[in-house]
């Protein structure tokens, strides 16, 4: 997530429906090993203080609000390893464990509020949020979408997660199937790098279904005849499953890698090889923005890398996140704008056009604070794919934040159909957006047509 300046998370009363962390610190598929438990017991018997990494101390994490009078202060906060999740004027908010909180206190900035996550008790994924797709239901839904148009669709795995779950892509191409190479201009849309951002899975999945169901409409049919389109709804399946595994949300952001200090997880959207390990990331494995031991250390980010590198026809891309209602374009890792003036103009025009349809705000990703190693900086910088990070709604934590409930699914899908069609259309030559006016037409996606 990368928040807008209008974003405010008011914890407790305003975080509705906010979701509770499970009190246990176990994680899926046997991540906590028996030897670690034995050594901890032995250490306690000797009276030795046992260090538990922040990522395993779910009961000790807090929502923090602190003063940040300017962009420089926000950058210092981000560089401390703290994941800024909300910005409101001169205040920022986010989640911190004990070690991260100690570093924040050392910055000399006034901490305004600390709210234990365990006190935030929202509704559960099942049944209140059962409209969202867990891993099993996602697999079934992807197969269901593919079955609607076997002449157009194919499914394949781009790689596997830490715990061995496939990362599935749905391909729409009228002539090539599976991993076959194509000369058609390509576009790709990805969801859920960050585990707790479940709405991003729903939007990628829902837009894919809308396009398949409307494949015979003249404008959509033309695009599908001429383009090579991919939807990857769930980049971080392990983290997403862990977030919902106990029936109470765990506020998980990272994947489920075992770190050297015993903590869990790497921030996949800080693990790409573009200014890796720089500003806006953390060297501390327990932090939410921990970048990992090296660029592309994680099987999930490597899978995305290899997928993109193997397809030189890819020209446009969206990585969906939540929340804040933003359309962001590179750079995120540096404050300077893109040096190619024509590319920059195309980016700005595309972002403004998509913002006009969605009601989101368009801006350069680093406008609030820099963050290095993210996917869209890498895909633009390394591969020259015109890449956007879209922070879906809601615009603020007061409207639900990471866990806004099922009522937002349909409206968020509806808002994003037209931007997806727009980027599919532009995949033949994204630079032509530099010459477009913001009133330029794009394939229409009337609200009435969105059945799901």
Question: Residue 145: what pLDDT?
Answer: 98
Beta bridge partners of 155: 170
- Assess contact for 421 and 339: CB atoms under 8 A: no
| SS3 state of residue 207 | helix
- In this structure, the dihedral spanned by the alpha carbons of residues 319, 323, 324 and 327, taken in order and rounded to 10 degrees, is 10
pLDDT value of residue 82: 83
CA dist 274 and 296 (Å) reads: 10
Identify whether the C-beta of residue 300 lies closer than 8 Å to the C-beta of residue 236: yes
Q: Which residues of the chain have pLDDT under 50?
A: 4-57, 121-126, 441, 445-452
* pLDDT of the residue at 71: 79
- For the annotated catalytic residues, the residue numbers are 391
What is the residue-wise DSSP string for 26-88? Answer: --GGG-S-HHHHHHHHHHHHTTPPPP--GGG-GGG-EEEEEE--SHHHHHHHHHTT-EEEEEE
Q: How many helices, marked H, and strands, marked E, lie in the chain?
A: 11, 12
* Distant-in-sequence contacts of 353-356, Cβ < 8 A, 24+ apart: 353/419, 353/422, 353/433, 353/436, 353/438, 353/440, 353/442, 354/327, 354/388, 354/390, 354/419, 354/422, 354/423, 355/327, 356/438
pLDDT for res 118: 67
Residues 388 and 317: beta-carbon distance below 8 Å = yes
- pLDDT at position 45 is 33
pLDDT of amino acid 176? 98
The structure tokens listed for 274 are 């573009």
pLDDT at 61: 80
How do strand 83-88 and strand 314-322 relate by DSSP bridges? unpaired
pLDDT mean across residues, the chain:
84
Q: How far apart are CA 129 and CA 159, in angstroms?
A: 28
Does this model's pTM top 0.95? My answer is: no
pLDDT of residue 13: 30
129's CB contacts (< 8 A; 6+ apart) are: 123, 198, 403, 405, 406
Position 113 scores a pLDDT of: 86
Report CA-CA distances (Å) from 218 to 222, 225, 229, 231. 6, 11, 17, 21
What Rg do the C-alpha atoms of the chain give, in angstroms?
21
Give the number of other Cβ atoms within 10 Å of residue 443's Cβ: 18
Contacts 24+ apart (CB under 8 A), 240-245: 240/134, 240/135, 240/192, 240/195, 240/198, 240/201, 241/28, 241/134, 241/135, 241/165, 242/27, 242/28, 242/195, 243/195, 243/196, 243/198, 244/125, 244/126, 244/134, 244/198, 245/22, 245/28
User: Which residue, 183, 185, 193, is CA-closest to 229?
Assistant: 185
CA–CA dist 17, 53 (Å, integer): 28
> 388 φ, ψ to 5°?
-130, 145
| CB 95, CB 47: distance < 8 Å | no
SS3 at position 321: strand
- How many whole angstroms separate alpha carbon 197 and alpha carbon 253? 8
Longest dimension (CA), the chain: 74
Burial class (CB in 10 A: 0-12, 13-18, 19+), 47: exposed
């Amino acid at each position: 997530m990368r928040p807008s300046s209008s974003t405010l998370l008011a914890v407790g009363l305003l975080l509705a429906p906010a979701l509770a962390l499970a009190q246990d610190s176990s994680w899926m598929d046997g991540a906590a090993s028996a030897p670690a438990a034995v050594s901890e017991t032995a250490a306690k018997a000797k009276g030795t203080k046992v260090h538990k990494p922040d990522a395993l101390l779910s009961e000790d994490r807090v929502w923090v609000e602190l003063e940040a009078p300017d962009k420089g202060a926000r950058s210092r906060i981000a560089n401390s390893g703290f994941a800024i999740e909300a910005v409101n004027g001169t205040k920022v908010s986010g989640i911190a464990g004990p070690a991260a909180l100690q570093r924040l206190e050392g910055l000399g900035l006034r901490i305004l509020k600390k709210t234990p996550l365990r006190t935030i008790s929202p509704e559960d994924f099942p049944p209140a949020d059962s409209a969202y797709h867990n891993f099993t239901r996602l697999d079934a839904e992807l197969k269901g979408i593919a079955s609607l148009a076997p002449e157009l669709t194919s499914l394949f795995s781009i790689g596997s997660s830490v715990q061995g779950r496939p990362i599935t892509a749905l391909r729409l191409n009228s002539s090539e199937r599976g991993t076959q190479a194509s000369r058609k201009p390509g576009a790709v849309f990805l969801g859920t790098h960050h585990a707790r951002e479940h709405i991003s899975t729903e939007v990628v999945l829902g837009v894919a279904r809308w396009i398949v169901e409307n494949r015979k409409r003249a404008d959509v049919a033309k695009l599908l005849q001429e383009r090579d389109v991919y939807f990857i709804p769930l980049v971080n399946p392990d983290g997403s499953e862990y977030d919902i595994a106990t029936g109470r949300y765990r506020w998980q952001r990272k994947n489920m890698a075992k770190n050297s200090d015993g903590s869990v997880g790497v921030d996949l959207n800080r693990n790409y090889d573009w200014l890796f390990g720089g500003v806006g990331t953390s060297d501390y494995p327990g932090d939410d923005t921990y970048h990992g031991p090296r660029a592309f250390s994680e099987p999930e980010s490597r899978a995305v890398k290899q997928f993109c590198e193997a397809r030189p026809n890819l020209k446009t891309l969206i990585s969906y996140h939540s929340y804040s209602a933003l359309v962001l374009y590179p750079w995120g890792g540096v404050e300077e704008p893109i040096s190619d003036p024509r590319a920059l103009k195309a980016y700005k025009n595309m972002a403004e056009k998509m913002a006009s349809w969605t009601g989101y705000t368009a801006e350069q990703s680093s406008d609030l604070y820099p963050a290095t190693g993210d996917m869209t900086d890498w895909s633009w910088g390394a591969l020259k794919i015109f890449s956007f990070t879209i922070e879906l709604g809601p615009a603020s934590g007061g409207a639900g934040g990471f866990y806004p409930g099922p009522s937002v699914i349909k409206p968020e899908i509806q808002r994003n159909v037209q931007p997806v069609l727009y980027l599919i259309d532009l995949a033949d030559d994204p630079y032509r957006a530099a010459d477009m006016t913001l009133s330029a037409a794009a394939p229409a996606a009337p609200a009435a047509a969105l059945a799901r």
